[in-house]
Amino acid sequence: MTIDASEIEKKKFELSFRGYNQREVNEFLQKIKKDYEQLLKRNKALSEELDQTKKELEKYNSRGERLEEALISAQRSARLITESSQERAKLIIEEAELKAKKNLEKSEEKLGKIKEEIAKLEGQKKLFLTKLRSLITAHSELLEFYEEPAAEKKTKEDAKPPLPKESPPPFSFRETSPEGILFEEE
């Protein structure tokens, strides 16, 4: 049961023989009344402050929960971004490796074609040199034949069967091409 300040002020005590001094009791009751009022005011202020503090604590707790949820969400997002980045990096690496492999295959194919072309050109060079040697030899023999003195010519002609008048030279010009001059023996 709570007592308010007005009850303290209104309280009257019965008089008795050898009782307390009425004035002292009244002064003491006034003092108690004032102290009690102050205590009630202070209690009320502290209660209000406590209520305010509880509300602020609830706000902070609510903010804390939201921050915690945001932190968890951010961690999930970071993990997803990391996983996504790793997957993209793997795909990029695989794509680069595939491109490099295709480029290597193309390069090897080109190298093979170039080697084939070199071999073909070397064969054409050998053929050309062989034909050129033959031509030079034939021209050299022809020069030697025309440079011999007339007397020797007659003795050699006697030993050889006569050539038909329209006999072609030992080689004839066949074709000129970008690969070189080709000669054909007749």
Query: 30-43 pLDDT, tens per residue?
Result: 888 888 889 889 99
pLDDT tens-digit map of 45-81: 999 999 999 999 999 999 999 999 999 999 999 999 9
Beta pairing partners, 173: 183
Measure the CA–CA gap between 100 and 75, rounded to whole angstroms: 37
pLDDT band of residue 175 (cuts 50, 70, 90) is very low
pTM over 0.75: no
Of 83-87, 160-164, 170-174, highest mean pLDDT? 83-87
Long-range CB contacts for residues 142-149, cutoff 8 Å, separation at least 24: 142/169, 142/170
